[in-house]
Amino acid sequence: PRLSNPYSLFAGTPSRPFFPRGFLWDEGFQLLLLSRWDADLSMDVLRSWYHTMDKNGWMAREQILGEEARSKVPKEFQIQYPNFANPPTLLFAVQALVDRLEAVSTAGIVDQLAQVYSMQGRHNSATEQTLTREYMQDLLQYSSRQLEFFMRTQAGEPLPGSLEHGYRWRGRTMDHTLTSGIDDYPRARPPSTRELHVDLFSWVTYMLSVDTELAAFARNGLELNQTREQQLESHLRLLDELHWNSERNMYCDVTVQPRDGYDELEDEGESEESVFVCHKGYVSLFPMLLGLVPPESPKLGHILDMIEDPDELWSEFGIRSLSTQDEFYGKGEDYWRGPIWININYLVLSSLHKHYMSGGPHQEQANRIYNRLRQNLVRNILDQFRQTRFFWEQYNPHDGHGQGTHPFTGWTSLVVLIMAEKY
């Protein structure tokens, strides 16, 4: 390892006393709220983050800058690897800003948005009434560079008997996939370089959908847009082919294991076979969380049933991170193995509100879940705030009490947007 050259980052922190540094995974969620309060400030943060991107499209998932930040992180965890990805949540903020610009024509905001994505730090200060193709082209360069980084460095190997490949988070250990953001969520045991991760496949597919939207408006973006549309269509198909388990009616990770009874001297064909790795919880929800499941799909019904089942994910305080029926529920460090996290619950509400409450055969169930979940989250977070005067990192799935780091005014503050129904 070597030290990077000195640089600065203007970013939010989820908890200044405990996490005085920038987290790529957290920042996109934090900006959803910040952009509602101060759009210019949020765009300054976006600009600062994107200016840390290297020529390959990589950004360090943790920005441990300065003595204060380094004092909180053991040295062995300070190293950042340029082939390790992290969820591209900044695109949430990008999409929210673009949606806002489409709804409200505000020349000052348009001009500021141009500054965020100017590759050379230049922008046109003339008053603009619309988001021009030139501005969209600057934005597209960043999003495309990051997308290509993901597709190149996180690609998995084809499964036995298949030419298709998915994606695999780098940096796996037996009990942790820190790069995924959901650190100790159960994965394949033992880890394998042949495994494929459904949440990462969902992130790449979401990136393609955002890139497709941006390319449609960019100057000379027709050819790129056609390519992205084809890639998006292919990924939506492969998401189901690779990761939907029709026996369990859920999306799952996949890994490879030796075929039972295979004799290399007598048997033909592959010596290995692919198997699903299924753990009901946040990972299995990602295709729905990112709006990749069509409203009319029967798969959506199975996902909503899983969410609403009190023996699986449902609690009176929010959606659990892992099913109570899972063998790893509440085990180990129990970080993402049961506790309720507000960022994922926000994504559940946001996805229901945007994609599934106004059409399709599941809209009645989607509305019921949305209303009950929103009420439960707001009530419990405010109850805990009144009792402790803190927002908490996570909430207990059995009695709702706040636990983990506090004060934690990072993504837990999304409760404000949940109250306002701003997604």
38 annotated active-site: no
Place of tokens 């989820």: 14
Catalytic residue selected from 138, 312, 326, 393: 393
* Per-residue pLDDT in tens (0 to 9) along the chain, 423 residues: 777 888 999 999 999 889 999 999 999 999 999 988 887 788 889 889 999 999 999 999 999 888 888 888 888 788 889 999 999 999 998 887 667 666 654 445 555 555 554 444 444 333 233 345 566 677 788 999 999 999 999 999 999 878 789 999 999 999 999 999 999 999 999 999 999 999 999 999 999 999 888 777 665 556 667 888 999 999 999 999 999 999 999 999 999 988 776 666 666 667 788 999 999 999 999 999 999 999 999 999 999 999 999 999 999 999 999 999 999 999 999 999 999 999 999 999 999 999 999 999 999 999 999 999 999 999 999 999 999 999 999 999 999 999 999 999 999 999 999 999 999
C-alpha distance from residue 364 to each of 157, 223, 247, 281, 307 (Å): 40, 40, 25, 22, 14
pTM of the model: 0.91
- Can you name the residues that pair with 37 across neighbouring β-strands? none
326 annotated active-site: no
- CB proximity list for 320: less than 8 A, separation 6 or greater: 281, 312, 313, 314, 338, 339, 340, 397
Catalytic residue selected from 134, 148, 183, 383: 183
